[in-house]
Every structure is written in structure tokens, then in C-alpha cells.
Amino acid sequence: MSHEKANSLESARARLAGTRGREFWRSLEELAGDPSFQEVLEREFPAGASEWGEGLDRRRFLQLAAASLAFAGLSACTRQPLESIVPYVRQPEEIVPGRPRLFATAMTLGGYASGLLVESHEGRPTKIEGNPEHPATQGATDVFAQALILGLYDPDRSQLVLEAGEISTWARFIARMSAALPALQANGGAGIRILTGTVTSPTLGEQIRALRTRFPKMGWVQYEPVSRDGARLGARLAFGVPVETRYDFAKADVVVSLDADFLVEGPASVRYARNFAANRRVRVGHERMIRLYAVESTPTATASLADHRLGVPPSEVPFLVWALAAEIGVTGVELPKALPEERARFIREAAADLQRNSGHGIVIPGDYAPAEVHVLAHAINERLGNVGTTVLRTDPVEVEPVDQVASLSTLVDDMRAGRVDLLAIVGENPVFDAPADLEFKEALLKVPLRLHLALEEDETSQYCHWHLPEAHPLEAWSDARAYDGTVTVMQPLIEPLYGGRSAHEFLSVFLDDPPRRGLEILREHWRLMAGREDFETLWRQSLHDGFVVGSVFGPRKFALRKPAAAEAVSAIRAAARDATAAAATAGGAPTDRFEIVFRPDPTIHDGRFANNGWLQELPKPLSKMTWDNAAYLAPAAARRLGVASGDLVAIEAGGRAIEAPAWILPGHPDGAVTVHFGYGRTACGRVGKGTGFDAYPLRSSAAMWSHPGGTIFKIPGRRDLACTQEHFAMEGRDLVRVGTIARFQKDPEFARKMEEAPGRDLNLYPGFNYEGHAWGVSIDLSVCTGCNACVVACVAENNIPVVGKDQVRRGREMHWLRVDRYYEGDSESPDAHMQPVMCMQCEQAPCEVVCPVGATSHSSEGLNDMVYNRCVGTRYCSNNCPYKVRRFNFLQYSDEKTPVLKLGRNPDVTVRSRGVMEKCTYCVQRINAARIAAEKEDRPIRDGEIKTACQQACPTQAIVFGDINDAQSRVARLKAEPANYGLMEHLNTRPRTTYLAKLRNPNPDLEPEKT
């Protein structure tokens, strides 16, 4: 049967080959008429089964029958229940009841800090924004920062100190430790190991230094599953010393990305995205674009903006970099032989382009690329003279850069050898995410005393004597460095909800007697840093700003080791030789042999966000899948294996195997399969349990980010995946309008001409005219990376409920703002286009006309108001909405039972109940707040004063909100751009949200302009 499926895909291939030019192809399987796709389509027919809930007995039957009759007697008279009002006993000076306040703080991911502003209502943090003053991140945020709030209120977070599974207390723990420490101290703490993640926090570093003075022989291990070992090692090999490299895309004209998702992932991504976008935006009068070449081993969101993309299996990447280095003329490197022409040409042109723009180019290697790639990248940038302008090298940001895999494996060896008496694991979950070959768990069990400080009771806590609840980043005092070295302050917004303590306070148990609280520890260390005199001013200033002014690392000169490049090349040769040797010995048909690419999950990262409903329900940027991970395959590969999306496959590598549902991802390089970490958690909260599969078992300390020789074969069974967008073709409709900059210069209005929009006079009725404000939004498709930050921001701002996998599969996700993704071109390497779609606030809204109760109507400023408490739920408005941006509460979605979740809700937005329609309102609560503020000061609302949640979060500033009646406003000027067009404008809906056509800047030598 796999044969016929293969054939059907074959025919699809054939038909695809026929299409060319600007023709859009439809989602693969459907084109192939693949039966399994029909299955996906006919979503489980007897869906009702799940609705039965508790079993049906006589009483329930009568109860229901009675309810239906009682309903008949419902009367119009509704009387509000009495509510009480509870004032403070002593009101804090600075608090004005009802007025939200903003605090500057930060979160860390992979050790690196990003500056945040947190909105707090009467002491309850409700919304997170980027800290616009922060020199590193400049006010942009990623999905993780936006979702941090939900993590804070997560009712499944660990709430108890556990001693051997029994409930205990911090006091008890402290007592036990002070009892145990002297013994350990005797031999200089040789038996003590502390395992942390990557540490950039100066204070934490200081504490560890202090620990080392107290326990000279103790060991400090840094390990987290997603870290930048390649970069670290690369730097060492290239310079002999640890070096941090950062890039300035604002000055760049040509970028070559080597397996780097630099716009969406990594500590600096939001800043890179901002500068990159600033350099890619095209406006009349400013018509130059940065050009991006992307070489990648798995499709990335970044590459959806690439002008030229080359997908190759991971083992090929080093060769391409090698070739690039050779083309650039890096000394000691000559061209590798036997490079396929298509790839060679790509590299040649990229190299030429780089050389044309020497000093204004960037060659950026991915964090997960092997060290050799980093070495060569360093050499190339050096050779091109980019260093100092676009490529900046500084001292390492980490307190102590180490090869984390190496340091973890030494720890494991020590544990096995019984050299470890006490292991304190701080905030990490190695039992779940350590490389499988180390068999961390087994080693761990050999340690006499195991402590675990973590946010949740996870896989590791189960095997530790003590589990200690960690304080959430928003609950604790701390500091950390941003990717550029800026020292960033983290201050608590709320007392620990569940009695958690920070890493500082935890370490303090071993340092101080009695242990000190975070604030004290922090201030103490800072006093040392600052030097006595101006400490208080520095402290206040930094708390207010959220960072220490001028703590950014200045670029420094580092001498590149002459032989480094050559060594890297020979290393690549060696690696290739080993791989071929291994392949020769390895079993399995060569057709089943695949390279395996490992990546952190785009939404739940390495698994630490597995219990975050917002992130679980967030569609993955490329597959639009929610609540699951999958084995991403190239269409061709899937055809060979005879699998369709959802079919189970077994993936085997290094003697370990996992089962995973396959997912056909257009543009994925053939011969490789991508699996994402983070799913398959066995010990975590209610949200994350039972989602996806665990990919860590395939990972070995030798092959952290890709495995050269895995095998895949189809096994019986399917897994139903909840995907929010099942159709990826535009059907020849001009939804995302794409053009090259050349075309734009020839005909700036090309996008508008694609589909005629009726003139404003073409109307049966006289239209309304909007004096005063007229709100509108402009979205620049040229810079949208589809990173989803806007989506989570919207969820957080507007109390949007999580509905769960089952409801998503029924097509009932609630996101007001979604990012549509379309494909164009050949299925093996198509162009991907991202398009954020929220309510268009049509001036002639089809939804309003059909609402029988006037629950949705137009405000005097042209907003398409939605009045939840008037809605009766006919869903007619949604049926009649051409953009399908309306969302309906088919069941009671918003959680009214869990009290702690109520704390996190935005008090300025109604929490919708069952049976009502909802949708994007342009964050009308923010509009009203700004208007009230302005009117109280008798002044007009300033342009830019109101930012919608999505706009505020957007790293590339692709979304701009404002008053289109004010000709000077940013949005008005954007809408005046020739590339501006409205979605489905021919329906005469007059959308207030419009788009700027997506412009590309291909290298004419690689892609001659079509005519």
C-alpha cells in the first residue's frame, strides 16, 4: 500500500512539475488525492462521542430533560448578586487603586537576559512588554517572554519542599544542610557538585566564586540542552581564547546565514530582527534592501525572508562553508572537490556578492552549527574586513564559558565513580534532557545526597532526595547579562506565590549562616561592583531603567590563529571520512538512512515550557502544528518512505529508537529528518503531559545537534495532529503579494494592480465619514518573520483562552491574531510567505450587517466593536467574515475554576464566557486608556502613543497602528506607500488593516528578473 501512496505522490510531483512561474501549488497530499489526507480532512466523524462526559444514568437523563424544560421558563428579569468591596488597611503610598504600574525587569533563556517591562495591577503582574530603553533588546520580545506571565501563575508549578517525596520545609532543609556541610567541607568539598545552566549573572558568578573559596575542591558544572557549544568551541579554536561574537545588521548589505535561525531564535534574535528589518524595509525614496542568502539543514522562519535559500543535509553544511571560505580566498583553504554545480554556483554568487560588499557583509553561523563552521565563518568575516563594522567581537558574556557537554560527561563519570557526595541541580532537568548516551539517571542514583531546585516537580526531582520549589523569574531578585554584556536587573513583581526561592537564595544556604534573601545578596554584590560612594544612585537608577548604564561590552580586537582555517577544513574532511566509514558498517537499507537534525521546539523550547498552554497552543511557525512535535521530512523523502503526515515512523540512531508521527515539510532537505526537543515529558503539569514524543533518546554527547547516520522506517499507526492551517496554497488568489525590488522600481504600484479594488464611490448607500480619529493598521510583509511574538502578545493582552488539542483539531482555536503561511513554487524548495491576519475592521463590515442583535457595530472612530455581553451566538457574523478572524466560545473555554489564573488576567478586557463571539478589537482598551489620559490633559492623542499588543511585541516592527486621518502619522504615511494593498479589497469591505507587499531582493546573477 505504501507503493500506491508513493505513486499518488508521484503523480502530485508530476503535476507540480507542470506548474511554473507565479503559479501557486496546493498542499501536497491533497493534490495527490492521498486517502490519508481525506482522513485528516474528515476529522473524526463521531466527534460527539467525547462530549458525553460522565456516563449517562437515569438521573442525568431526567436532569437534562428537566433542564431543557426549565429553560423554557427563563425570564427576562436578571438581578446581579451582591458583591463586596475590600479596601486596604494601610494603602501603600505609591499605589493608585485601578492604575496599572510598569516595572523594569528581565528574563533569561539559555542564561542570556532580555530586558522586560511588566505591567502590574494592584501588585498582580498581567502583561509583559520589552523594555524599550534596554540597549540590547530595545523593547522587542519573543514568544517566551510574552508567555512568561502564564508560567508565573501556572497552578502546576511545584509548591512544596519535598524530602524523599514527603512534604517538608525550607527551615528543615537548611537545618539538614548546615548539619551535612562540615563533613563535606573536610576534604575541601571534593564531593560537592553544583549543576547549573549557562550562567551570565554576575551575582551568581560571585556566589559560586565564594563557594569555591569555601569548598576549594568542589565542582561547578554548567549544562543545558540548548546551549552554544559550537560557537564557544569555534571561538576557542579560532582565537585560543573564549570570544563572544555579535553582529550589527544595521550596517550590513549582504548576509550569508549558515544554518542560522538568527531572526527568530537565540539570545540576540529580537535585536538582530529589528536591525535586519530596518535595513530591509523599502519605502519610496529609500529603495535599498539587505540581501539574505540562507544555507540551512532544516527550514527556518528566518529563511522565509531569504532571497536565496539552499537546503542541504547537515553534513553538507561544513563543505559549503569550506567552499565559501575558498571562494572568498581565506588563506590555506582551497575549494573542496565534487560540489554539485547548483550548490557551487550558489556559493560562488554569494561569495562574489560578499566581496562586492566587503566590510558591509555578514557571514553568520548558527548556534547549533559545528565548531569548524564557526571557525571558517570567523576567518571569512576576517578576510572580508567585516570585523569591526558589522561583526563585533567581545569578551565572553558568560561568567565562565565551558564546553557544557564535556563538563556534564565529567560529572557523570565522577558520579559513576562515586566521587560525588552531594549534587545540587539548580533549575535544570538533566534526567530528561541530558544526552542519552551519558545515562545520567543511572549515574545520578549513585550520589548519596541529591538536591533539586526547580520550578516544577519534573523528571529529575523524582530521583532527588530534596526537591525545592524555585522562585519564578518574576518572583525573585537577580541579575544577568544580555547577549551584548549589558548587566540587566531582575526585580520581583510579586511575593513568591508558592514559597519558591531563587538560585541565589539556594546557594546562600551553603554560603551564609543564616541564609540571606535575594535582595540582600544582590545589593551586597553590587555594592562591591560599584565601589562605596555612588552605590545608592546606581542602584536606584538601574532598578528604574532595568539595566546598568554602560555595562555593554565594547568590541575588542582578537587575533585569529593563522592555522585555524586549515585545521577546520581538515577536521571537516576527517568528520566526513568517519561518517562514510560508519555508514558502510551501519545496517539498514541505504534508502532508510537519514541524517537527523535536532532542534529545540520553536514554542516549548527544550521542554521547560511544556506546561505553558499559550506556548503549547501556539502554531509552530512553519508547520502550524500545535500541541505536538513531529518528524519533519522532505516531500521526496516521505514519498520514498511511503508515509503521509501523521503516519508513525520509527527513528533509530546510535542503537536507540523512538516513534514519531511524520510531517511533510516542504523545503526540508532530502536525506535528513528534523525532530524537536521538549515534548514527551513524563513528569510535568496537566497541560504538558502526554503531548508529543521525546526526541532526547536519540541525542548523544557526540552528536548534539545532528546525527549523521540515523535510519527511519514506517510503522503501523497514525497520530492525529492538531494543525491550525491545513491548506498552504493561495489558489491563485492575491493574498500575499510578492515582488522583487526591481519590479517595484519599475512599477511601484504592481501590488495594487494585482486585484482591482472598487472605487469608494461605487456604493448603493452613501458611506459614513469619520471625522476625528480613524484607527488603522499597516503590516509590512517584507519584514514579517512569522515568529509569533504578536500572537502570544495578543493572547496575553486580551485574556484569550486555551482550548486544548481536541478543540484545535475541530477548528476552534481562539487566537484573534494568526500568522498565515503560504507556499509558492516548487515543493522541494518553495518560498514561504508569512501573513499576520487579525480583524480588518472593515468600514463596510459584512459581519455587522448580519448580526440580529447589533452585538457588533461600528464605533465613531471606525472600530468594528464587538460587544460580548450582547452577543447571542448565531455565528452568522463569522460565516459572513471573508477573513475568518472571528472566534467563537463553543464551550466554556476560559478557566473560571482555577483562582490563581484569574490573577493574571487583564482587568481591562472582559473575560468571555461560553456562547459568545469574540475577535480582535485593535486593543480598544489601550485606545480608551490613551484617550482618557489625553483628554484629562486637554491634548490630542499623540501618534505612537497607542501601541497595540501585537505591534509592541513585534521584533521587526512590521505592525504599525495609528490614526489614518492624521496625514502625518506613521500609519497614514505607510498606507500612502504604493506597495500598500488591502486583503480581499474587491469585496468592497474597505479594510482598515492593510498590507505592504512583500519585496524580495534576489541576486540578478542567481535569479534573473522574469518578464
Cβ nearer to another protein, comparing 462 with 878 = 878
All cell numbers assigned to 655: 542503537
Contacts of 906 (CB under 8 A, 6+ apart): 126, 127, 796, 797, 798, 799, 925
Cβ nearer to another protein, comparing 76 with 584 = 76
* Dist CA 461 CA 431 (whole Å): 9
Residues 139-158 close enough to bind another protein by CB under 8 A: none
Site string for another protein, 376-405 (x = CB under 8 A): ------------------------------
Residues 724-743 close enough to bind another protein by CB under 8 A: 725-733, 735
All cell numbers assigned to 941: 492623542
Cβ nearer to another protein, comparing 531 with 732 = 732
Cα angle 733, 728, 145 (rounded to 5 degrees) comes to: 115
- Of these, 844, 965, 980, 1003, which contacts another protein (CB under 8 A)? 844
Residues 961-990 close enough to bind another protein by CB under 8 A: 983-984, 987, 990
Closest by Cα among 825, 354, 787 to 603: 787
All cell numbers assigned to 704: 548534539
CB of 625 to another protein, least distance (A): 14
CB of 405 to another protein, least distance (A): 41
Cβ nearer to another protein, comparing 38 with 331 = 38
Residues 602-631 close enough to bind another protein by CB under 8 A: none
DSSP string across 102-160 = EEEEEEEETTEEEEEEEEEETTEEEEEEE-TT-TTTTT---HHHHHHHHHHH-TTS--S
CB of 721 to another protein, least distance (A): 14
CB of 379 to another protein, least distance (A): 44
All cell numbers assigned to 532: 562605596
Cβ nearer to another protein, comparing 814 with 997 = 814
Residues 900-919 close enough to bind another protein by CB under 8 A: 908-911, 914-917
Cβ nearer to another protein, comparing 671 with 915 = 915
Site string for another protein, 934-963 (x = CB under 8 A): -xx-x-------------------------
CB of 139 to another protein, least distance (A): 25
Residues 763-782 close enough to bind another protein by CB under 8 A: 764-768, 772
CB of 876 to another protein, least distance (A): 6
Site string for another protein, 787-826 (x = CB under 8 A): --------------------x--xxx-----x-xxx----
Site string for another protein, 78-97 (x = CB under 8 A): xxx-xxxxxxxxxx----xx
Kindly report the number of other CB atoms within 10 A of residue 867's CB atom: 15
Interface size with another protein, residues (CB under 8 A): 131
CB of 984 to another protein, least distance (A): 6
Residues 116-135 close enough to bind another protein by CB under 8 A: none
Contact 471, 496 (CB under 8 A): yes
CB of 98 to another protein, least distance (A): 3
Which one-letter amino acid corresponds to residue 698?
L
* Dist CA 737 CA 748 (whole Å): 13
Cβ nearer to another protein, comparing 472 with 624 = 624
Contacts of 594 (CB under 8 A, 6+ apart): 637, 651, 671, 672, 673, 710, 711, 712
Kindly report the number of other CB atoms within 10 A of residue 968's CB atom: 9
762 near another protein, rule: CB under 8 A: no
* Dist CA 506 CA 977 (whole Å): 56
Cα angle 812, 814, 817 (rounded to 5 degrees) comes to: 130
Contact 951, 961 (CB under 8 A): yes
Residues 314-373 close enough to bind another protein by CB under 8 A: none
Cβ nearer to another protein, comparing 124 with 707 = 124
CB of 894 to another protein, least distance (A): 12
Report helix, strand or coil for 418.
coil
Cβ nearer to another protein, comparing 124 with 608 = 124
CB of 853 to another protein, least distance (A): 5
The tally of CA atoms less than 13 A away on the side-chain side of residue 463 is 17
Cβ nearer to another protein, comparing 432 with 883 = 883
Residue owning grid cell 530603553: 133
CB of 726 to another protein, least distance (A): 7
CB of 913 to another protein, least distance (A): 8
- Of these, 3, 58, 76, 342, which contacts another protein (CB under 8 A)? 76
User: Maximum CA pair distance of the chain?
Assistant: 92
All cell numbers assigned to 842: 472593515
* Dist CA 16 CA 657 (whole Å): 34
Cβ nearer to another protein, comparing 318 with 801 = 801
43 near another protein, rule: CB under 8 A: yes
* Dist CA 284 CA 588 (whole Å): 58
CB of 963 to another protein, least distance (A): 14
DSSP string across 586-643 = --S-GGGEEEEEEEEBTTTBTTTTTT-HHHHTSPPTTT-EES---EEE-HHHHHHHT-
- CA dist 159 to 38, 312, 454, Å? 46, 46, 10
Cβ nearer to another protein, comparing 745 with 892 = 892
* Dist CA 183 CA 508 (whole Å): 18
77 near another protein, rule: CB under 8 A: yes
Cβ nearer to another protein, comparing 29 with 977 = 29
CB of 52 to another protein, least distance (A): 8
Residues 848-907 close enough to bind another protein by CB under 8 A: 848-854, 857-861, 863, 865, 867-876, 878-880, 882-884, 886-892
Cβ nearer to another protein, comparing 100 with 314 = 100
In this chain, which stretch among 37-45, 433-441, 462-470, 677-685 interacts with another protein, using CB under 8 A? 37-45
CB of 96 to another protein, least distance (A): 5
Mapping DSSP onto H, E and C, the string for 387-442 reads ECCCEEEECCCCCCCCCHHHHHHHHHHHHHCCCCCEEEEECCCHHHHCCHHHCHHH
Contact 216, 189 (CB under 8 A): yes
CB of 925 to another protein, least distance (A): 5
The tally of CA atoms less than 13 A away on the side-chain side of residue 834 is 31
All cell numbers assigned to 413: 563519570
In this chain, which stretch among 314-322, 360-368, 490-498, 844-852 interacts with another protein, using CB under 8 A? 844-852
Cβ nearer to another protein, comparing 297 with 807 = 807
* Dist CA 807 CA 975 (whole Å): 37
Residue 163 phi/psi, 5-degree rounding, is: -110, 115
